[in-house]
Amino acid sequence: MDVDQRPPPILEARRLTVGWGGVPILEDLYLPVERGAVLCVLGGSGTGKSTLLRALIGLDRPMSGEVIMRVEPDPYLPPEAPRLGVLFQSAALFGSMTVLENVALPLRRWTDLDPRAIETIARAKLRLVGLESYENHLPAELSGGMKKRAGIARAIALEAPLLFLDEPSAGLDPVTSAALDDLILTLNRNLGITVVIVTHELQSVYRIGTDCVLLHRDTKGIVARGRPTVLRDKSKDPRVRAFFHAEHSLRSSQSDAQPAQVQP
């Protein structure tokens, strides 16, 4: 018998049911996330991608099931400090603080480093995301893409090994969006950060995704899982083909069959 030599998943949702007001949106989900993956969560509008993300990061309590996160404790942080980073669609920067202060915030909250050390670390994170010249700007003075970069710098300020991104390219032009993809790849490949990303942008999925799950309203679950280009090219499932090829709409759930935006 083969013995599975792979390390256990860094994140594992087991028998997870999530929903609102007692009504399940996704039921009995099993979702392991491999260490080092860039997992794209895909699905039509309203299939529960954001709801799932909120449960995975512990922001909302699932109706049932559990989420197991296997990350090493950081000896320099208190045990209750977050070990995951999150970038919401809005980037959620504090408008009255400079970019540097925004990035320094988690360090001020969770470490007892002196202010100069905190500034040094925050500057290093800004350099990593290409915003070193903007540390004294206010968020309102940044473009959409820069705000996302600042949000990512803050999300990784505490060296989180897991990063969750909710539609990072929303509202960005294709060039800015591609540059953001490059940054996500750098974080993944150079720093080893595991990424879970909700996105509608298929070009981005093909560029950065090592793995993806396709959610579907009919089954309230995952209808396909695998490497995005493999699902696109090999799947015979009409729901998967509809999503990746925009060939036909689904008989049973019209809105769910809307394909992701395919750029030329």
* Interface ranges with ligand ATP (CB under 6 A): 20, 25, 43, 45-51
Q: Which is nearer to ligand ATP, 27 or 132 (CB)?
A: 27
CB of 47 to ligand ATP, least distance (A): 4
CB of 242 to ligand ATP, least distance (A): 16
Q: Which is nearer to ligand ATP, 200 or 232 (CB)?
A: 200
Packing angle between helix 144-155 and helix 99-110, nearest 10 degrees? 20
Q: Which is nearer to ligand ATP, 88 or 110 (CB)?
A: 88
Residue 257 has which token pair? 């069959």
One DSSP character per residue, 97-137 reads: S-HHHHHHHHHHHH----HHHHHHHHHHHHHHTT-GGGTTS
Instruction: Please give the radius of gyration of the chain, using alpha carbons only, rounded to the nearest integer.
Output: 19
CB of 62 to ligand ATP, least distance (A): 13
Q: Report how far Cα 79 is from the mean position of its chain's Cα atoms.
A: 23
Q: Which is nearer to ligand ATP, 208 or 215 (CB)?
A: 215
CB of 217 to ligand ATP, least distance (A): 9
Q: Which of 30, 31, 25, 28 is nearest to 45 (CA)?
A: 25
